[in-house]
Amino acid sequence: MTIKEIKALLDSDEVAAEDLMALKADSRSGVQKLLVSYRNRQEKLANKQAAFLGRFQYERQFWSKGQLVAGVDEVGRGPLAGPVVTAAVIIDENFDLIDVNDSKKLSPKKRLQLYPQILKEAVSIAIGVKSAAVIDKINIYEADRLAMAQAVNNLDCRPDILLVDAMNVPVALPQVSLIKGDAKSNSIAAASIVAKVFRDQLMADYDQIYPEYQFAHNAGYGTSDHLAALKKYGPTPIHRKTFAPVSDFFAS
């Protein structure tokens, strides 16, 4: 086989054991370099797979009892503009998207790739949204909790247990609150991706209405371009009046 053919074989990740033995005996340095690259790639894949399976540890406790588990997470507590968005996601033992992880650890491109795949594989998915007006009225923490409850109540099947990222949801269901839960549970991680992509798209839509603030790029967070626009044009109807420095415009 030529080096090019061997590279194509190893890149396919469908290599028979006898092929590996033959390649190991090949004296060409280019072949041995390809083998090292292949083994490193396989090791990384095995580690990713093991980590993915490890993030089912909480779900398995309830799946073994025949219970439905929903992961719940939020995005948008810190921005100066836009709503807080939550997602509730029910997955089962067949869920196999090993790239699913805490949304903050994934690139925007990877989140967009995973989003439709999660929608396809999940048992049920629902969204909760609370506007800037609600946040100003009852504070961000309570608005976040209500948005989580909204997401859970919007699921088309009732879960038996909630896994929640460091929060308590005001619904009459047993729940486990996990600090940094989106890195510990695939259910919560899937919810974090869904919530993030949904909110980013929402802020991109708002960018069409309020282009001066570049919401498609900053998602409402207090970046330098956002703060400069806020200073020049003042707040929009989707800005949070109780968040500084937006609150400075409403000081008596």
Q: Where are the beta strands (DSSP E) in 61-206?
A: 69-75, 84-90, 124-130, 161-165, 175-178
Answer yes or no: is 59 within a domain: no
Do 109 and 35 sit in the same domain of this protein?
Answer: no
Verify that 46 and 134 share a domain, yes or no.
no
Looking at the structure, tell me whether residues 132 and 188 fall in a common domain. yes
Strand partners, 90: 70, 124
Say whether both 132 and 22 belong to one domain: no
Question: Which structural domain range is residue 240 located in?
Answer: 206-250
Alpha carbons within 13 angstroms on the beta-carbon side of residue 73 total 31
**Within a domain: residue 80?**
yes
Overall number of domains in the chain: 3
- Residue 217 in any domain: the answer is yes
H helix or E strand, kind and range, residue 153 = helix 140-154
d(CA 95, CA 109): 21
The verdict on residue 121 lying in a domain is yes
In this structure, are 107 and 192 located in the same domain?
yes
**Residue 181 falls inside a structural domain:** yes
234 belongs to a structural domain: yes
What residues are paired with 81 via a beta bridge? Answer: 239
Closest CA to 229 of 251, 207, 199, 203: 207
Residues 183 and 213 in one domain: no
Those residues of the chain that have pLDDT short of 70 are 252
CATH number at residue 189: 3.30.420.10
pLDDT at 252: 64
**80 in Cβ contact with 240 (< 8 Å):** yes
Q: What is the pLDDT of residue 1?
A: 83
* CA neighbor of 128 nearest in space, from 81, 76, 59, 205: 76
For residue 17, what pLDDT is reported? 87
Q: Specify whether 179 is located in the same domain as 225.
A: no
Same domain, yes or no: 71 and 110: yes
Residue 47 within any structural domain of the chain: yes
pLDDT digits (tens, 9 = 90+) for 16-58: 888 888 888 988 899 889 998 988 988 898 999 999 999 999 9
**Residue that finishes a domain, picked among 153, 176, 197:** 197
Task: Check whether residue 156 and residue 182 sit in a common domain.
Answer: yes
pLDDT at 126: 98
User: Quick one: 95 and 184 in the same domain?
Assistant: yes
Note whether 155 and 40 are same-domain residues. Answer: no
Looking at residue 183, its pLDDT comes to 93
Three-class SS state of 89 = strand
Looking at the structure, tell me whether residues 128 and 210 fall in a common domain: no
